[in-house]
Amino acid sequence: MTSDTNSNIPQKFTSSSIQAMTANRSSVVMNMAPQGLTSESTQAAVKSEDSAELRAPADYMFARSDFSKEKEKLDEVLNSGVLFRYHAPEAKNIPVAQLEEKYCELFGYKYALAVNSASSGLLLSLLAAGVKEGDSVLMPAFTFVAVPSSIVLSGATPVLVEIDESYSMDPEHLEEQIAKYKPKYMMLSYMRGAIPDMDKILAIVKKHDITLIEDIAHAMGVKWKGTQVGTFGQSSVTSFQSHKICDAGEGGMLGTDDIDVFLRAAFLSGCYEANIKKHLIDHPEKEEKIKQYLNKIPPYNLRMNNMTAALLFNQFDILEDKADHHREMYKAVFDNLDKTHLTFPPVHPNTTAVLDSIQFSLSTFSVEQRKEIQAKLNGQGIPLQVIGLAKDNARVFYNWKFIDEARIQADDFPRTKEFIESMCDLRLP
């Protein structure tokens, strides 16, 4: 990949210094395979020397961030002196409540609850759905540790489901696990934005009357047949943690059309006394519904503050622009990677992906070669990770020692294990 890679980076997202180093990064990514294993066309495109300075992994990861407009909103909140969401007298003047309304308008939910993290939102979504001790909750065997953690913390037991070559939930194994464990709930996580065949998944969920909760932490802006994922189940949760498409450092949002789920989650999150009226709720039975739950649910403290909300307004406005940028960066890297020795997960034709990271398999490489590839890239500032090489990787199911190990050992999940052992994972700037 040559320096004209810069044309793929919109000016609004990167400074000139970041653009100058991007071509170098991309060349390093292309040259990741040991000598002799990359295609001739790829070898020819790689420059052995580049004048651009190689940056540390932290610089690589944060290359996408430009918070100039967010600073204006943040100053507005700081100047108001109202940092806690319930200190303003009316919802219309509360930045967090305004953000919740904006989220609903953006994705079509009736209700949204801003929280301090997506992990908190996942726990709230389970508890608000009625999950209790002794229940079983389906989930993909490849995802971030927050998913099984939230299930265990709710008192339930995770039921893992194999992934297929798309790195998302395998519908066939889903049927097998339902027959075996008779679960009532499923937390469908779209790890790294990978979407399964939703027509098959939703048909299975409907057939078995399973309550679906969607984890869209990695899938904000991703669509299935033109519809935002996260709108197919009872509720969904997204993340605003750093490196997500909307970055506030931390934070999350629970979206739902169910007034009871919303109110239960809101009271659980730390809403107390009359503060529920500082949420924008439009429901004909609002007052009666509030009386049903007020002071009857023990609250956590999982609320979002106004400063976090201030960082997100502009990012919501430019969400599609950011998604287009990620797709361009993905294409720039993908088009110049060796297709002979690297295997890429298929993207279902009904999916409109965001592609803010790239995954591929090194299944044709030995373990030692995988180590060499990872070390070479990491040494040059490219934070590529071979999932199977990381001893304590939080995305690997056999590292989740807090769940039923006997059940994991019984099922073993050989296909998932095979995929993750050779899977490479790289966030794109």
Statement: the pTM of the whole predicted model exceeds 0.95: no
How many other C-beta atoms can be found within 10 angstroms of the C-beta atom of residue 401? 7
Q: Please tell me what DSSP assigns to residue 138.
A: E
Q: Which CATH number fits domain 88-317: 1.10.357.10, 2.70.98.60, 1.20.58.340, 3.40.640.10?
A: 3.40.640.10
Q: What percent of the chain stands above pLDDT 90?
A: 75
Characterise 182 by phi-psi region: left (phi > 0), alpha (psi -120 to 50), beta (else): left
Neighbours of 106 (CB within 10 A): 16
Residue type, 97: A
User: Residue 48: is its pLDDT beyond 60?
Assistant: no
pLDDT digits (tens, 9 = 90+) for 199-258: 999 999 999 999 999 999 999 999 999 999 999 999 999 999 988 999 999 999 999 999
Residues 6+ apart with CB under 8 A from 38: 30, 31, 46, 338, 341
pLDDT at 263: 97
Which of 193, 168, 141, 158 is CA-nearest to residue 396? 141
How far apart, in whole angstroms, are the C-alpha atoms of residue 11 and residue 347? Answer: 28
Q: Where are the alpha helices (DSSP H) in 154-194?
A: 171-181
pLDDT tens, 395-419? 999 999 999 877 777 788 999 999 9
Mean pLDDT of the chain: 86
- Per residue in 253-306, pLDDT tens? 999 999 999 999 999 999 999 999 999 888 888 899 999 999 999 999 999 999
pLDDT (tens digit per residue) in 121-141: 999 999 999 999 999 999 999
- Could you tell me which of 112, 150, 117 has the C-alpha nearest to residue 259? 112
Least confident of 101-115, 172-186, 274-288: 274-288
Tokens read off for 57: 């992994």
How buried is 15 (Cβ within 10 angstroms: 0-12 exposed, 13-18 middle, 19+ buried)?
A: exposed
Alpha-carbon gap, residue 428 to 327, rounded angstroms: 10
Rounded to whole angstroms, how far apart are CA atoms 244 and 223?
16
- Please tell me the distance from the alpha carbon of residue 407 to that of residue 228, in angstroms, as a whole number: 34
Q: Which of 188, 219, 251, 169 lies closest to 357, judged by CA? A: 219
pLDDT the model gives residue 60: 53
Say what the pLDDT of residue 410 is: 72
d(C-alpha 337, C-alpha 1), whole Å: 9
Which two structure tokens, joined as six digits, stand for 42? 């790829």
**Which whole number is the average pLDDT over 316-338?**
93
Q: Where in the chain is the domain with CATH 3.40.640.10?
A: 88-317
**Residue where the block lists tokens 């519904």:** 289
Distance (Å) of CA 367 to CA 358, 362, 374: 20, 9, 11
pLDDT at 18 over 70: no
Structure-block tokens of residue 153? 């913390």
- Taking alpha carbons only, the member of 419, 421, 413 closest to residue 174 is 413
Q: How far is CA 120 from CA 112, 182, 241, 399, 425, in A?
A: 14, 26, 12, 21, 25
pLDDT bucket at 360, cuts 50 / 70 / 90: very high
From 221, 248, 217, 245, select the one nearest 116 (Cα to Cα): 248
Residue 59: pLDDT band (50, 70, 90) is low
Q: What is the pLDDT of residue 284?
A: 87
Contact 186, 140 (CB under 8 A): no
Structure tokens at 248: 């506030």
CA distance 197 to 348: 7
Q: Residue 221: which of 319, 336, 310 has the closest Cα?
A: 319
181 vs 83, 176, 177, 244, 400, CA distance in Å? 46, 9, 6, 33, 20
DSSP 353-373: ---SEEEEE-TTS-HHHHHHH
Confidence tier at 164 by pLDDT (50, 70, 90): very high
The confidence band for 166, taking pLDDT boundaries of 50, 70 and 90, is very high
Phi, psi of 223 (to 5 degrees): -125, 150
The dihedral of CA 295, 299, 301, 303: what is its sign?
negative
Residue length, the chain?
429
Does the structure show a pLDDT above 60 at 27? Answer: no
* Chain position carrying tokens 């361009």: 328
Identity of the highest mean pLDDT range in 41-55, 217-231, 329-343: 217-231
For residue 32, the model assigns a pLDDT of 44
